[in-house]
């Protein structure tokens, strides 16, 4: 073969020159029914993660059971997401929030989400919202979930969650977490005021027997603010509470 000029050898661009004779759909590595290879972003996956499944012991009594779940099904770039959160007392759901979302990856660690949110309460009317948000991993490994909502009657809302995992050991993990919820206008039927309505900050210490099974204990400070706090006081409640929690974090 000449170094320069002349004709290229017949096998110069042979696609199988470095495959040791292995070909797609033929030989020992043939996969029945597969006519081409599929990369990771073409496969569909599913997951269910229980962030919180816990018993809350309030300093003023009225202990409750709370849950926070998130499931998804789809590909690396496009997913159908369900978020569910609520609490129960005396074996009855008191309040619940369910979101049905389409999620699209826009960066290595960030997804944008859009869909609907459905609220249910035993002490007031149900509410429906259109939801638009972003979820992902911020610099320095902060997990962030921020969503804006638009409801009927000119109602608007904003919900933000942020958490961080401090590894004491490879299995013992301390997780600080903050949540806040604000509304654009007052909603007396649900005893909610405009502006910052609710916020909480907590610490949960979990032990991961496996990544899929991790019991935890913790403490949380939760409060109502502004006119929402006035509604709580009018009903004889305390706008700010400290509660201890014990629960289970899981995923599969």
Give, rounded to a whole angstrom, the gap between the first and last alpha carbons of the chain: 58
Q: And the tokens for 221?
A: 């400070």
Helix, strand, coil percent content, the chain, rounded in steps of 5: 5, 60, 35
The pLDDT of residue 43: 80
The pLDDT of residue 25: 60
**pLDDT > 90 in the chain, percent:** 71
> How many Å apart are CA 243 and CA 57, to the nearest integer?
5
- Of 159, 153, 250, 141, the C-alpha closest to 200 is 159
* The pLDDT of residue 24 is above 90: no
Predicted TM-score of the model (pTM): 0.83
Average pLDDT on 227-237 reads: 92
> How many Å apart are CA 213 and CA 252, to the nearest integer?
9
Confidence class of residue 248 from pLDDT cuts 50, 70 and 90? very high
* The pLDDT of residue 152 is above 50: yes
The pLDDT of residue 58: 83
Average pLDDT on 33-60 reads: 81
Backbone angles phi, psi at 109, to 5 degrees: -125, 15
Average pLDDT of every residue of the chain: 89
| Residues near 199 by beta carbon (within 8 Å), at least 6 away in sequence | 178, 179, 180, 181, 222, 223, 225
The pLDDT of residue 31: 61
The pLDDT of residue 244: 96
> How many Å apart are CA 158 and CA 244, to the nearest integer?
26
What digits encode the pLDDT tens for the residues 106-149?
Answer: 998 999 999 999 999 988 899 999 999 999 999 999 999 999 99
> How many Å apart are CA 238 and CA 132, to the nearest integer?
32
Confidence class of residue 92 from pLDDT cuts 50, 70 and 90? confident
Integer-rounded Cα radius of gyration of the chain: 26
The pLDDT of residue 16: 61
* The pLDDT of residue 4 is above 70: no
More confident residue, 25 or 142: 142
What digits encode the pLDDT tens for the residues 52-63?
Answer: 999 999 876 678
- Of 158, 163, 197, the C-alpha closest to 178 is 163
| Residues near 207 by beta carbon (within 8 Å), at least 6 away in sequence | 171, 172, 173, 214, 215, 216
What digits encode the pLDDT tens for the residues 165-211?
Answer: 999 999 999 999 999 999 999 999 999 999 999 999 999 999 999 98
Question: What distances in angstroms separate CA 42 from CA 80, 107, 231, 252, one per listed residue?
Answer: 15, 17, 51, 21
Please say whether the beta carbons of 130 and 147 come within 8 A: no
The pLDDT of residue 1: 46
* The pLDDT of residue 226 is above 50: yes
> How many Å apart are CA 196 and CA 182, to the nearest integer?
4
What SS3 class is residue 75? coil
Question: What distances in angstroms separate CA 44 from CA 40, 76, 79, 95, 195, one per listed residue?
Answer: 9, 8, 9, 33, 40
């Amino acid at each position: 073969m000449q170094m320069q000029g002349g004709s290229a050898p017949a096998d110069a661009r042979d696609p199988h020159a470095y495959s040791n004779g292995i070909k797609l759909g033929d030989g020992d590595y043939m996969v029945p029914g597969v006519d081409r290879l599929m990369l990771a972003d073409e496969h569909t996956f599913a997951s269910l993660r229980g962030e919180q499944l816990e018993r809350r012991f309030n300093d003023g009594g009225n202990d409750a059971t709370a849950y926070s779940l998130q499931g998804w099904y789809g590909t690396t770039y496009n997913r159908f997401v369900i978020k569910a959160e609520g609490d129960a007392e005396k074996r009855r759901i008191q309040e619940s929030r369910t979101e049905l979302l389409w999620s699209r990856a826009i960066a290595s660690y960030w997804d944008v989400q859009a869909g609907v949110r459905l609220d249910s309460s035993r002490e007031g009317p149900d509410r429906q919202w259109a939801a638009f948000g972003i979820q992902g991993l911020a610099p320095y490994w902060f997990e962030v979930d921020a969503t804006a909502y638009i409801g009927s009657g000119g109602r608007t809302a904003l919900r933000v969650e942020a958490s961080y995992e401090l590894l004491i050991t490879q299995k013992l993990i301390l997780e600080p977490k903050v949540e806040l919820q604000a509304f654009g206008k007052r909603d007396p039927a649900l005893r909610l005021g405009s502006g910052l309505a609710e916020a909480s900050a907590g610490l949960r210490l979990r032990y991961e027997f496996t990544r899929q099974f991790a019991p935890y204990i913790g403490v949380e400070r939760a409060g109502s603010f502004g006119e929402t706090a006035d509604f709580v006081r009018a009903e004889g409640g305390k706008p700010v509470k400290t509660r201890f929690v014990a629960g289970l974090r899981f995923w599969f």
